[in-house]
Structure 1
């Protein structure tokens, strides 16, 4: 359909080849333009319009599809907390609250905020689902002492890089040899979740592992194409270790050995790095921010439970008491 309504040029597809349907769509579009002229953009703007504005101003396309499929032609004025909550329940039936917040509430809030900035609707805030805090899981040095002997060289090297740098697996897999300075023992991480590049120190154990790799061009860990491949390799290795442990305990019951828990790359990397930096390196939350791995203090505070605080250690100064026999 093409033409001019109230001085606005219209050149759009009706999305159909049937004449009656096309006429209905054209009439509806003309009505929208008139409503916008008579009542203002806030009365007629849709979620699809808001997404267009959001993407035009460098918004992130990731995770928008579910919201667009549900709210696409909804008027922004009709999207409230009740509608968003109802949409979440209808769209994500078997997801954890944390996943629903990330996949649903966060992108919708971002789109609506940008729409409000550009006069398409009033500012609206949506409450996200409550998340029960879960202490982060991390690997002990003993975990790796059991794990590494079962790894092939590639898996051993990449799972050495993770806990000693704190890098996300996506950052590790995109790392290129030209971004590594072997003399200064640093790696420059260009692509990060926060969009802020940073330089990472490479301890000797990481340097020695990297030098075992036979190539010095292209991606450092080119043997893995995606994080799922690394996680599968970790899971298979842990399963093999546990089979051996079960067999060992069956034949030698007097020498028990605990089975290993499968830990993903995120737990072996970010969680372990944070815990070790606090527990063994003695960093406090503010100092942790100085590593560049985290951008806000809230992300770091969750790891403080793994270390007795300086204040907590003052319990050594409490008065003692003696037990007297009755």
Structure 2
């Protein structure tokens, strides 16, 4: 069986096709039994020569291994184990409500609403920019988010402040039009950084809003399973490992006696 044959069967079985097209073009008619772990590692380097290890893992190793192991489950070839490229885990800095408010104050209505939407729902940038007016019900205060990593959908609650921000976006609200107007994440990047410059705040990426959603919810005492469900994380362990940052406010121990946190705002800003 060739990789192309296995990939067709994999698609027909309804499995995720994310990042599959490029590896299909690479392997083509290579026999699946001849694809070794070293060959997959070499393919990752070839297809993404300047990319980091996480990208190579996600966009080459994972889809290639998924197709071959699907074929193995059907007794068409042996299973394949591929060692992932080592990824250095960096502490991801979350956006705070204060940061988001400063950003929104210096952004266009649709860019500010985009930032607020990611912070308030935990949406990824790709999920947010693909949101259409058909997906939004301002009366019910809900939005349907198509999750890019899992292929699932979830219904997110829209807080009143977010409803107001979305409602104030100038638009004819045609059902198929994108709510925030951007075509993809790249079209957001330049205007995003300009808004940061105008606001005079620390440079954070759009994805930091998703970090901020998780961190803020966890620090507010919301249990991990609820945060994972609300933000679209399937793996609770990943949520804890990546997003459960220690609080920078040293006065957090005040909660033991039921008193408020008292660290000065300027210290909080420097720690956040």
Q: Do the structures match in fold with TM over 0.5?
A: yes
Note the C-alpha offset of 1:105.
Answer: 0.4
Note the residue ranges of structure 2 that are not aligned, 5 or more in a row. Answer: 258-272
Note the C-alpha offset of 1:240.
Answer: 4.1
Q: How many residues align?
A: 251
Give the TM-score normalised by structure 1. 0.68
Q: Is the 8 A contact 2:105 2:199 kept in 1?
A: no
- Which of the numbers 94, 107, 115 marks the counterpart of 1:159? 115
TM-align CA RMSD: 2.8
Structure 1 equivalent of residue 36 of structure 2? 80
> Which whole-Å CA distance do the structure 2 matches of 1:110 and 1:117 have between them?
11
> Which whole-Å CA distance do the structure 2 matches of 1:71 and 1:179 have between them?
37
Note the C-alpha offset of 1:177.
Answer: 3.1
> Which whole-Å CA distance do the structure 1 matches of 2:233 and 2:41 have between them?
30
Structure with higher Rg: it is: 1
Structure 1 equivalent of residue 51 of structure 2? 95
Between 1 and 2, higher relative CO (CA 8 Å, sep ≥ 6) is seen in 2
Note the C-alpha offset of 1:151.
Answer: 1.3
Structure 2 equivalent of residue 296 of structure 1? 235
Give the TM-score normalised by structure 2. 0.80
Q: Is the 8 A contact 1:188 1:197 kept in 2?
A: yes
- Which of the numbers 223, 229, 241 marks the counterpart of 1:284? 223
Which consecutive aligned stretches of 4+ in structure 1 deviate over 4 angstroms post-superposition? none
Residue correspondence of structure 1 range 127-276 to structure 2 within 5 A? 127-190=83-146, 192-215=148-171, 216-218=173-175, 219=177, 221=179, 223-242=181-200, 259-261=201-203, 263-268=204-209, 270-276=210-216
> Which whole-Å CA distance do the structure 1 matches of 2:144 and 2:21 have between them?
33
Note the residue ranges of structure 1 that are not aligned, 5 or more in a row. Answer: 1-44, 243-258, 318-326
Q: Is the 8 A contact 2:122 2:214 kept in 1?
A: yes
Q: Is the 8 A contact 1:278 1:307 kept in 2?
A: no
